[in-house]
Amino acid sequence: MRKIASATLVRQHPRERLCSVELVELDLPAGQLRYIVTVRQDIGESSLTAVPCTLQEAERRALDFLRRRLAAGEQLVRRDGFDALVDLLPVQPAAVAAPAAEHPVPGHVTALAARFQPASWKLESPERQARAAWRLAECADASGSASQRALRALVPRLVGLLETGSDLLDLCLAAAIGRLGDRGAAEAMQALSQRGRSPATQRIARQAWLMLLEPVALQAHAAELAARWQPELAATETGEALVSRLDAALDERRLEWAHLLQEWYDIALVLPAARVLVLDLLQSLPLRADCFQALRYVYKAAELRRDAQALGLLHARFENTPGSLMPPQPRRYRSPTTGQWITRTGGGARQPALAYSPRTREYLRLRGWRNLRRLAAIGHAHAPELAVGLLLGLADEDLEMPREEHRWALGADGRYQRTLRLHHAGANWLLVARLLLPELPGLRTSPRARRWWTLEPLDTTRAMLHRTEGLRAMWDAHPEALLQLAMRSRSALVHSVVARALEDHEDFVLGQDAPVLEALLRSAYPLTAAIGFDAARARMEAAPDAAARVPWLTLMATGSHAEARDFALLHIAGDPATYAHHAALVVALLLSGDERVRRQACGLTVLAPTAELFAELQAALLAADPAARGLAEGAALVDQLLKAQLAAPAAAAVLAGLGPLLALIDHPLPTLAHLGVTWLLLDPAGVALLPPSMLTRLLSAEDPERRACGARLLAALPDEVLRGHTDLLGELALHAHAGIRAAIAPALLRLAAADAQLAQAVAARLHQALFQAEAGEGAHDDALRWLTQDLAAHAPARDASGAWRALQARSVGAQRYGAWALAALAPADYTLRQQATLARHADAGVRAWAMRALDASLPAVPSPEQSAELLPLGDTAFDDARAYAQSLFGERLGDDSLGVDLLVAWIDHPRDWMQALGRSRLVRRMSAADASLCLTRLSQHPGTQVQLFVTQWLLELPTDDPVRLAQQLRALRPYFLSVLSQVHRGRVAKSRVTAFLRAQTAAPETAAVVAEIFARQVVSTSLTDKPQYIAGLRDIAARHPQIELPFLAWKKPPAHTA
């Protein structure tokens, strides 16, 4: 496998996302089709070539994809090959035309050059000499203006001054020489980079040497450096993953981040791929000591190279990241003498453990602003570029939430008044207060503008009422910088300020090229889109024909600006027949994020030429951003059109567009894959054109939606092929995902209808699945529908025992199957107890069937044995079954049909209504002969109502035999203790039991049992009940002195001996 070409695109809004396209040659024999195009975006990967194709076809598809993505607003950040994209550079606004006459050398430049004359130079102090050299470096650039030619004439003098003064002077001279661009001084800079008196001077001299090298020599040097880092430069990770990988590589190489980042930044002068990695590291490296040193070196180098993008990224990090106040973390470094790793907590002078402190942060924030301010003051050409780079770092998604702060301030009347400070999300950005809003009325700032606030809320949805930006002269001289911010900024505040500034440059905006206006119109910010719309409308109205108006109408109709969308739709509706012949416009409308636009596109598809429409549709779907708003809805709409009005022409176009169609089926986005399958299956022989490897890949996909697409294709195979894969069909029919089940159902039922043996096997498998936990939502519903409708003739276990087993299963699906089977059975198939059990079933249909069966099975006067079989009916928790049971037990069953055991069972039932019914029926047949049985069976019941009911039977106990009565009382002792131990309830039952027990103290046998009960209650009962127990014990003591009562007579405990 060999990579032939690659390109990387980036989309900035709403978050930065990379998309990589690679053209790859497979390791296949010569003469065969062996080229593919892969697309990698976020964590997903797809292919524009589902099967290998020719090099020309693969390159055509890759370039078409890249052009469409670039036209949609993405930017090309890296390219290796794909030479046809050379002309598609990032969109740049046209600058203000420079005057024809050349300006003379400004006075401040002449005065600065005069300070380097020998006579003046020797009079300067070392500090002023260094400052003069730094001022020269600030004014210098590599342009050919008169002032720069005058400064470049000083290069020999500057080279002669090297190593004649302080080390700081050498550093400033090296910066000036490097920026002036005189390649004759390259050798001097190389020498200074080796023998400079400080590492800082050596680093600046090295950067100056690289800036002065010839392109060939620079490429050779970069290639030599890149060879050392070949494995690391090939990394595909981003963010924290990239940092972790490089951390491990540095530990293995025994190097530090400063070494890596400096060399990679040098390589980035030549290799765009290395620059992408460096910019990623600038945003991802943590601001701890070892990493911050590397970032600081790159920051100084970027200042020297005037790399506005790198400076903007670093400045944004300094603005968004507070300085560290935590105690220093231990750091590891290698001993220069022993080579061993040493852990140090405090750090050193050059490498402090706490590098990024609040003071360091404030210094770096102010440094960025001061550098910009000085460049703007001298009218330097780099000033607007630097301002744009710094402001592009202000992104809404990276800022904190806005907040409110209440403060007490001294008013004009000498009294303190409460004020409300409104802190914008960017209130901690020093650059906002200094560059973006210094002229805003009501702006309040802290000392040195470390933070800012307002007393009234900022409305960023509208343009500022007045111009608020600082350095207005710079912006007015370079309105193209304002356009750059409008096209690329991700801050609503920036767009609000820039929109007002561009109102003063309306003619400049109208004169921009079409790509610039398209970028403005595509903006996600309404203020900027409105600027683009005004200019685009004027440009469109001046267009000579419909073909020239179509690109503008496409942008307006598919953009986010409501006014532009309404204008475009109204214009298209005025001549639909003409615009329907432009396939790109129709497809763009179909895939729009607005429903009204998609509805209008449906009407255009009827008038559009189908061949061009289908070709454009396939290409647009393959190049669509998976995260684009409305893509899923648009694809669903196209799917409906393909099944309806476009079905016949789409079926005829399958073979002509098979390559893109297969790529669409293999797309990682399930919505597009589903659309591709629908399109392919319109052709009766379409499934035969599908590569087997693709079908296997879809059926084994992790995404259930894509697997459902594979199931649809599988179901379209001939029946002869499917009969050999019945196990796979059964597995898919029971899948957790509803889409997969729906996709495979037609094939499964089609085969079952033609093969009874297969139908029985499928029905048995579905029946077994009903007794298991549901694999996914609706799985049992589908299985039941197939079993009870299409496979009803082959449904298993429909007899009485099978239905009973299903009805008693835990699974709801099995219970529903049992209910379906029960409807075909007779009441005689079940006993009365089974019918009573079914009458309390959770399924309403089962309960109704059981109640009808009971009515048909019960005789007019049931026997006690038959009545006992109905006891399970009392356990029902459903209103209809309870009403039926109350009617049956209370009215239809006479006294002759109820035995005492059954009535006691009713009273002992957990349901309150059953207990009440049992008590009422048992009272009607109360007798002394049943007293012992009732007391024994009901004495253990915990319910207070039952305990009260039991007290009625106490008086029925025979008292003529004291010994037998004592035995009965002792057996009922738990009942007595339970009733007497009730707290704040059961007062009537307690009174009855207490009176009954005190009445049984005449005989010594019964008195002894009563004494045990009262003695226990005296110790544990409340003060309210205790007197009556004491009185009872005294009565027993008076009547039967022989009974020992420890509660009333003290007995000395026996002494224990060792």
List the single range of 244-258, 289-303, 1044-1058 with lowest mean pLDDT: 1044-1058
Supply the mean pLDDT for the chain: 86
Tens digits of residue pLDDT in 131-164: 999 999 999 987 778 888 899 999 999 999 999 9
Q: What percent of the chain has pLDDT over 90?
A: 48
pLDDT band at 189 (very low <50, low <70, confident <90, very high): very high
The answer on pLDDT for 967 being more than 70 is yes
Tens digits of residue pLDDT in 1034-1048: 888 878 887 777 666
Mean pLDDT of all residues in 768-788:
90
State the pLDDT at residue 304: 95
pLDDT band at 327 (very low <50, low <70, confident <90, very high): low
State the pLDDT at residue 937: 56
Tens digits of residue pLDDT in 258-278: 999 999 999 999 998 899 899
What is each CA distance from 416 to 104, 409, 455, 806, in whole angstroms? 58, 5, 16, 80
For the chain, domain boundaries: 2-85, 106-213, 647-743, 796-893, 958-1058
The answer on pLDDT for 727 being more than 80 is yes
Contacting residues for 277 by C-beta, under 8 A, at least 6 apart: 233, 235, 242, 264
Helix residue ranges, H only, 478-513: 479-488, 492-502, 506-510
The helix or strand, by DSSP H or E, that contains position 915, with its residue range, turns out to be helix 912-923
State the pLDDT at residue 8: 86
pLDDT band at 570 (very low <50, low <70, confident <90, very high): very high
Round to whole Å and give the CA distance between 767 and 312: 66
Query: 685: helix, coil or strand?
Result: coil
Strands 341-344 and 331-334: antiparallel
pLDDT band at 801 (very low <50, low <70, confident <90, very high): very high
DSSP E strand boundaries for 310-415: 331-334, 341-344, 403-410
Contacting residues for 596 by C-beta, under 8 A, at least 6 apart: 569
List the single range of 475-479, 574-578, 608-612, 995-999 with lowest mean pLDDT: 995-999
State the pLDDT at residue 177: 95
Tens digits of residue pLDDT in 608-630: 999 999 999 999 999 998 888 88
Strands 75-80 and 331-334: unpaired
State the pLDDT at residue 981: 77
Mean pLDDT of all residues in 57-81:
87
Q: Residue written as tokens 């059990």?
A: 837
The answer on pLDDT for 940 being more than 60 is no
Q: How many CB atoms lie within 10 A of CB 1036?
A: 23
Six-digit token string for 160: 């002669």
The answer on pLDDT for 943 being more than 60 is no
Six-digit token string for 948: 């009260």
Q: Are 85 and 9 in contact (CB under 8 A)?
A: no
The answer on pLDDT for 466 being more than 70 is yes
Helix residue ranges, H only, 443-478: 472-477
Round to whole Å and give the CA distance between 912 and 920: 12
Beta bridge partners of 25: 2, 35
The answer on pLDDT for 86 being more than 80 is no
Give the CA radius of gyration of the chain. 46
- What is the pTM assigned to this prediction? 0.75
Query: 404: helix, coil or strand?
Result: strand
Mean pLDDT of all residues in 477-481:
94
- CA 400 from chain centre, in angstroms, equals 20
| Long-range contact set of residues 912-915: C-beta below 8 Å, sequence gap at least 24 | 912/945, 913/882, 913/886, 914/874, 914/889, 915/943, 915/945, 915/946
Helix residue ranges, H only, 627-691: 631-643, 647-652, 658-665, 670-681
The helix or strand, by DSSP H or E, that contains position 416, with its residue range, turns out to be strand 416-423
State the pLDDT at residue 928: 47
The answer on pLDDT for 349 being more than 50 is no
Round to whole Å and give the CA distance between 555 and 72: 9
Six-digit token string for 466: 């007045």
Tens digits of residue pLDDT in 279-313: 999 999 998 888 999 999 999 999 999 999 999 99
The answer on pLDDT for 351 being more than 60 is no
Six-digit token string for 383: 């000033």
Between 1048 and 365, the more confident residue is 365
Q: Are 1008 and 962 in contact (CB under 8 A)?
A: no
Mean pLDDT of all residues in 935-948:
56
Tens digits of residue pLDDT in 672-714: 999 999 999 999 888 888 888 898 989 888 889 999 999 999 9
What is the amino acid identity at position 350? R
Q: Closest Cα to residue 762, out of 740, 736, 744, 743? A: 744
The answer on pLDDT for 1006 being more than 50 is yes
Tens digits of residue pLDDT in 870-916: 888 888 889 898 888 888 887 777 777 776 667 666 766 777 777 67
Q: Closest Cα to residue 972, out of 935, 1007, 933? A: 935
Tens digits of residue pLDDT in 514-537: 889 988 998 889 999 999 999 999
What is each CA distance from 72 to 7, 9, 247, 628, 902, in whole angstroms? 16, 11, 37, 10, 83
State the pLDDT at residue 956: 59
Round to whole Å and give the CA distance between 908 and 922: 12
List the single range of 112-126, 242-256, 322-336, 809-823 with lowest mean pLDDT: 322-336
Tens digits of residue pLDDT in 852-868: 999 888 888 888 888 88
